[in-house]
Chains A and B, each alone.
Chain A
Amino acid sequence: MSAYQKYRYENDCKPDENRNKGTSRWTHCRKRGADGNLRKSLEVGEPDKCSQSSRRQESFTTPESEGPVSRVKNWGDEVEAEEMRSNVQRDMHRYRRRILEADFPQRDRKISSGSSDSRDSKDSKESPAKGDIETDETTLIRRQKQINYGKNTLAYDRYIKEVPKLMRQPGVHPKTPNKFKKYSRRSWDQQIKLWRVKLHAWDPPAEEGSDLQQIEEIDLGEIMEFELDVECSADTEFQCPTSSGALLSLAEDSFAGTPKKMMKIEDAEMS
């Protein structure tokens, strides 16, 4: 059975789907009924509807999807995914503009191609050359989710309240990894881990033990939860904003003592 036919079959077998019952006007276009048996012949008189139906279904096999995409999508999920995508796109445009402004502070300056007159090594470390930013959407979204996890902590909230951006000292104060820079997967994951460990210094005072002890406990937790983050697919990670506004996944809670609040959906922070 082709993947395409397979979705229709799976879809038809969903018992709670109204449109699989005989009364729906789409059902006569389906190859199989809800019971899985092949239907007789398609109604000849309604070719338009059949082609509408098949056109609709095809629209769900997007190039970006990892495999057969279930036809029945959850609207809440779809909207959130779309929001994340458009946030990342917007961030990328802002970032590109920022980079261009940094590289070309005087707009009327002529740029000679190939010559490196205005760019010394310091500049290229600070701002990646125009061609070298990360643009792959899947990667950006994955990275953004990891950043969101970190920013969705009480520690982060306390940190940004206590230390304004201008007062941040490099090395001392944690800095959010820049998702637009090119890094290997391992390098990026490591940066995230270190960033989150650093943030723990701003954890709200807890009942048990000293700060030092807390950090040690959490360090272990960080590693474990980090590993879980890495291994889980992007989708399962992001089940978090449940309708009850529940906290992040159970694994994170049980391993790490980090106090969390409700899941933040977006953050365009690029510090």
Chain B
Amino acid sequence: MAKSACAPASSPTTQGNDANKQARGFLVHRLNSMDSAWTALDVVTQTMVQKAIADPKTVDLEKLSDAIVEQSLKDLSFCKDAGRMCYAVVQAEAQKAATSAFRRNLLTRLQQEFTGREQTRSHSVQEWVCLVTFICSIFDYIKVNDAPLVALVDPIYDCLFRLAQPDALMNEEEVDCLVVQLHRVGEQLEQTNSQRMNQLFYLLRDGFLLQEDLSSMTRLLLLEILEFRASGWTLTNTAHKYYYSEVVD
């Protein structure tokens, strides 16, 4: 099964491997698709969010944060961008009411979900993936005096380590989640704790090299993230061309 995935140097679009082609098509598609956390929300919650931003004192912020966490666990497209919406509410509350009840309750709920993550994973991998995505989205957007939420750094690492385990690498869903989060917040995480990032990448290299039954897609995703980090959390032009060019038959 070990077909060569190396494209001939002359042309990035010719490759001898169908699975590779398909995987790269997926990457391109993901790059192009728009996430919309907003439309994923039901009308009631949408209204609550708008009201909360306009006048935080008129809304039950606890209820709102609960509703948002609930939604995040069900809908992956929502949680990718939900952090931005949450930050808007956090800032509105800070500026207009000088309180932080929304952020506090959000974090408390998240922490509860985080604590029960292994159970969540065993009954629904989708929910688990949503949880990780949402936590990372919160970390990405919500800042405290322009600094990231340090309290979330170790928990996020815990999640990523879990996703890098051999059993998780077997699920493309989980691998996809892992690499997406590393793209989004990897650099920030490394700045706060580089030691754990190094350890995480030991696991990723091991997985890539040693785990025999990984799918083509998984190997592609892992290779890309390995290169991405090695280039300083960016891709060289040629690498970008390889992974993200429009796939031509």
Check if B145 sits within 8 Å of A73, measured CB to CB. Answer: no
The chain B residue with its CB closest to the CB of A60 is B154
Check if A83 sits within 8 Å of B144, measured CB to CB. Answer: yes
**Is A69's CB within 8 Å of the partner chain B?**
no
Check if A24 sits within 8 Å of B99, measured CB to CB. Answer: no
Residues of B within 8 A of A55 (CB): 195
Check if A82 sits within 8 Å of B150, measured CB to CB. Answer: yes
Check if A245 sits within 8 Å of B111, measured CB to CB. Answer: no
**Is A262's CB within 8 Å of the partner chain B?**
yes
Chain B nearest CB from A27 CB (Å) reads 11
For the complex, give the distance between the alpha carbons of A18 and B98 in Å. 35
Quick one: given A56-B154, A82-B151, are A264 and B115 in contact (CB under 8 Å)? no
Residues of A within 8 A of B107 (CB): 75-76, 79
Quick one: given A245-B61, A262-B101, A265-B100, are A74 and B108 in contact (CB under 8 Å)? yes
Check if A80 sits within 8 Å of B104, measured CB to CB. Answer: yes
For the complex, give the distance between the alpha carbons of A66 and B100 in Å. 26
For the complex, give the distance between the alpha carbons of A70 and B214 in Å. 40
For the complex, give the distance between the alpha carbons of A262 and B108 in Å. 19
Q: Which of B99, B110, B145 contacts A241 (CB 8 A)?
A: B99
Q: Which of A25, A56, A59, A86 contacts B145 (CB 8 A)?
A: A86
Quick one: given A18-B115, A48-B202, are A265 and B144 in contact (CB under 8 Å)? no
For the complex, give the distance between the alpha carbons of A269 and B199 in Å. 44
Check if B108 sits within 8 Å of A80, measured CB to CB. Answer: no
For the complex, give the distance between the alpha carbons of A83 and B98 in Å. 13
What per-residue 1/0 map shows which CB atoms of A53-80 lie under 8 Å from chain B?
A: 0011001000000000000011110111
What number of A-B contacts does a CB cutoff of 8 Å give? 87
Q: Which of A23, A75, A266 contacts B118 (CB 8 A)?
A: A23
Residues of B within 8 A of A87 (CB): 145
Which range holds the interface residue count of chain A? Answer: 20 to 34
What per-residue 1/0 map shows which CB atoms of A1-38 lie under 8 Å from chain B?
A: 00000000000000011110001110000000000000
**Is A184's CB within 8 Å of the partner chain B?**
no
Chain A nearest CB from B190 CB (Å) reads 16
Check if B196 sits within 8 Å of A52, measured CB to CB. Answer: yes
Check if A244 sits within 8 Å of B145, measured CB to CB. Answer: no
Q: Which of A25, A59, A76, A264 contacts B103 (CB 8 A)?
A: A76
For the complex, give the distance between the alpha carbons of A52 and B154 in Å. 11
Residues of B within 8 A of A263 (CB): 99
Interface centre among B100, B144, B150 (most CB of A within 10 A): B100
* Interface residue count on the B side (C-beta < 8 Å): 34
Chain B nearest CB from A269 CB (Å) reads 11
Quick one: given A23-B118, A245-B61, are A76 and B108 in contact (CB under 8 Å)? yes
Q: Which of B61, B117, B149, B154 contacts A79 (CB 8 A)?
A: B149
**Is B92's CB within 8 Å of the partner chain A?**
no
**Is A41's CB within 8 Å of the partner chain B?**
no
Q: Which of A59, A78, A86 contacts B151 (CB 8 A)?
A: A78
For the complex, give the distance between the alpha carbons of A214 and B165 in Å. 66
Check if B99 sits within 8 Å of A74, measured CB to CB. Answer: no
Residues of B within 8 A of A241 (CB): 99-101, 104
Check if B111 sits within 8 Å of A74, measured CB to CB. Answer: yes
What per-residue 1/0 map shows which CB atoms of B31-44 lie under 8 Å from chain A?
A: 00000000000000
Residues of A within 8 A of B103 (CB): 76, 79
The chain A residue with its CB closest to the CB of B154 is A56
For the complex, give the distance between the alpha carbons of A70 and B103 in Å. 22
Check if B98 sits within 8 Å of A265, measured CB to CB. Answer: yes
**Is B245's CB within 8 Å of the partner chain A?**
no
Residues of B within 8 A of A78 (CB): 150-151
**Is B22's CB within 8 Å of the partner chain A?**
no
Residues of B within 8 A of A210 (CB): none
**Is B2's CB within 8 Å of the partner chain A?**
no
Residues of B within 8 A of A59 (CB): 154
Q: Besides the contacts A76-B105, A87-B145, what 7 more A-B pairs have beta carbons closer than 8 Å?
A: A18-B116, A52-B199, A74-B108, A78-B150, A79-B151, A86-B145, A265-B99
A residues bordering B, Cβ < 8 Å? 16-19, 23-25, 48, 52, 55-56, 59, 73-76, 78-80, 82-83, 86-87, 90, 241, 243-245, 262-267
CB pairs A–B below 8 angstroms (28 shown): A17-B115, A18-B115, A18-B116, A18-B119, A48-B199, A52-B196, A75-B108, A75-B152, A76-B105, A76-B111, A78-B151, A80-B104, A83-B100, A83-B144, A83-B145, A86-B145, A90-B145, A243-B105, A243-B108, A245-B99, A262-B97, A262-B98, A262-B99, A263-B99, A265-B98, A265-B99, A265-B100, A266-B94
